[in-house]
Amino acid sequence: MFAVTTLIAVSFSIGSFRIEEAERPFLYSVLLWIILTFSALSGLARSFIKEEEAGTIDVLKLSARPQAVFLGKLLFNLTLLGALELVIVPLFILLMAYQINFPGLFVAMVISGGLGLGAGTTIIAAMIARASARGALFSALSFPLLLPIMIISIKGCERAAVGISTAGWPEVRIAVAYFVIMITMSLLLFPLVWEE
Amino acid sequence: MFTLNVSGIGKHYRETLLFRDISFQLNRGDVLAIAGWNGSGKSTLLRVIAGLVRPSAGRVEMFAGSESIPKESRRRFIGMVAPAISLYDELTGLENMEFFCRVRGFACSRNDCLDIVDRMGLTEHAKKMCGDYSSGMKQRLKLAQALLHRPSLLLLDEPGCNLDSKGIKVVEEIISRQRELGVTVIASNEKREVGYADRIINLSE
């Protein structure tokens, strides 16, 4: 709901005719990733908070290995984010008349950026689940962790919109590397976060 | 044979000391009661033993025969029931059992799950959503969940909470049966529940 509402608000208030042709690839990439990132932050953070609030976190700790819990939550978050991107990205392209000259790179960037976003948000959600000042902590933690993936995804989408074909798709590779690093670090650190 | 060894356990939260120097050893067949005033740390001590909370001092060791059980492997030996522990309201009683079987990684047929639910007197309610259960029914389901994997260490925090006389009989049978399997630790203020134990540790003293 947040994503759709934000998208409609952006498309109505800005619209394609208010932005210079030359600036559209960059600005639209920024807008798209702001919508996706904030939607991810508002929606995916609940994955661990819900367990804490329902009182099921202890029985989960007593039953399952920490890595299994993390991977389960990650899979859920990635599925949710994937569904969100499937709805929001086409809608964004339609409503904003977003011209993409290199669709292959664009799709790869959305997928790899989404993977990175999902992985980063999942470990942040685990860290803040038991905090009392979740809002402030969430902002403080998410900014440094998610900024790199946001920047690289914006850059990759901008290139795809402009039609610059860079050999080897470096932005996609960096996003995939980010995803792999986040998963690896999360699997190593999550047991420490999971324990009280 | 399962052994629980607790040495010099202490716990404080910020500047408040809950308890210190708690030591005991329990072997198969032993039942220990932890008694004390509200806020004396009974539930916290149980959580320390379960590995849900890190102690401020001391250590908890578990042995299967002469072999020490590492911390990461202990969950298959522990079953716990506590007021703070909830099951999934959005699943039925039976689905909760099947879920925890899968999560614990052991083969458990629907009939096995039905058997344990039946032992708790919840057969008629097995296919109802856990969210629709009364507090007594939820307590019985928690007991079922704790016994699903035949734990060597059963931790019961106020096991008779919300139970009627039939439910209390079920608890008595569980404690009696658990003597054959392993060790039971009960945290309670109820005289009846403390009376099930062979030994008592009073945290208020």
Taking an 8 Å cut-off on Cβ atoms, the answer to whether B84 and A58 are in contact is: yes
Judge whether B149 and B76 are in contact, CB under 8 Å: yes
> What CA–CA distances, in Å, run from B114 to B91, B105, B141, B154, B191?
15, 18, 11, 21, 32
Q: Where are the domains of chain A?
A: 2-194
- Residues on chain B touching A68 (C-beta within 8 angstroms): 103
Taking an 8 Å cut-off on Cβ atoms, the answer to whether B100 and A63 are in contact is: yes
Task: Flag whether residue B50 sits within 8 Å of chain A, measured between CB atoms.
Answer: yes
* AA letter at B37: W
> What CA–CA distances, in Å, run from A59 to B85, B146, B156?
6, 9, 13
What is the rounded average pLDDT for all residues in chain B?
Answer: 90
* Residue-level pLDDT at B38: 84
- Inter-chain contacts counted by CB atoms under 8 A, chains A and B: 46
- Residues on chain B touching A65 (C-beta within 8 angstroms): 72, 75
How far is it, in rounded angstroms, from Cα A128 to Cα A130? 6
Work out the average pLDDT over B73-96. Answer: 93
How far is it, in rounded angstroms, from Cα B30 to Cα A103? 68
- Residues on chain A touching B88 (C-beta within 8 angstroms): 54, 56
* Higher pLDDT among residues B141 and B204, named by residue: B141
List, for residues A39-91, the tens digit of each pLDDT value: 888 877 788 888 888 889 999 999 999 999 999 999 999 999 999 999 999 99
pLDDT at A16 over 60: no
B191 C-beta neighbours (distance < 10 Å), count: 8
Task: Pick B52's closest partner by Cβ from A54, A56, A196.
Answer: A196
* Residue-level pLDDT at B146: 93
**From the candidates A51, A59, A193, which should be mutated to test the interface with B, based on the most B CB atoms within 10 A?**
A59
Work out the average pLDDT over A96-105. Answer: 89
* Burial degree of A126 (CB within 10 A; 0-12, 13-18, 19+): buried
Task: Flag whether residue B84 sits within 8 Å of chain A, measured between CB atoms.
Answer: yes
* Burial degree of B111 (CB within 10 A; 0-12, 13-18, 19+): exposed
Residue A111: name the closest of A145, A144, A77, A86 by CA.
A86
* Residue-level pLDDT at A165: 66
Q: Where are the domains of chain B?
A: 2-202
- Residues on chain A touching B86 (C-beta within 8 angstroms): 54-56, 59
How far is it, in rounded angstroms, from Cα B192 to Cα A135? 45
List, for residues A124-154, the tens digit of each pLDDT value: 888 888 776 676 777 788 888 999 999 999 9
Work out the average pLDDT over A154-176. Answer: 87
pLDDT at B163 over 90: no
To the nearest 10°, report the CA torsion of B138, B143, B144, B147: 160
- Residues on chain B touching A130 (C-beta within 8 angstroms): none
Weakest-pLDDT range from A132-136, B178-182, B192-196: A132-136
* Residue-level pLDDT at B205: 67
List, for residues B92-143, the tens digit of each pLDDT value: 999 999 999 999 887 778 888 888 899 888 899 999 999 999 999 999 999 9
B190 C-beta neighbours (distance < 10 Å), count: 16
Taking an 8 Å cut-off on Cβ atoms, the answer to whether B86 and A64 are in contact is: no
Taking an 8 Å cut-off on Cβ atoms, the answer to whether B75 and A62 are in contact is: yes
How far is it, in rounded angstroms, from Cα A191 to Cα B45? 21
* Residue-level pLDDT at A109: 95
A→B interface, C-beta within 8 Å: 54-56, 58-65, 68, 195-196
| Residue of chain B whose alpha carbon sits nearest to that of A72 | B103
- Residues on chain A touching B52 (C-beta within 8 angstroms): 58, 61-62, 196
A171-188 burial, b at 16+ Cβ within 10 Å, e below that, comes to bbebbbebbeebbeebee
CATH superfamily entry for domain B2-202: P-loop containing nucleotide triphosphate hydrolases (3.40.50.300)
- Both tokens of residue B17? 């000391």
Task: Pick B104's closest partner by Cβ from A56, A61, A63.
Answer: A63
Task: Pick B85's closest partner by Cβ from A55, A64, A196.
Answer: A55
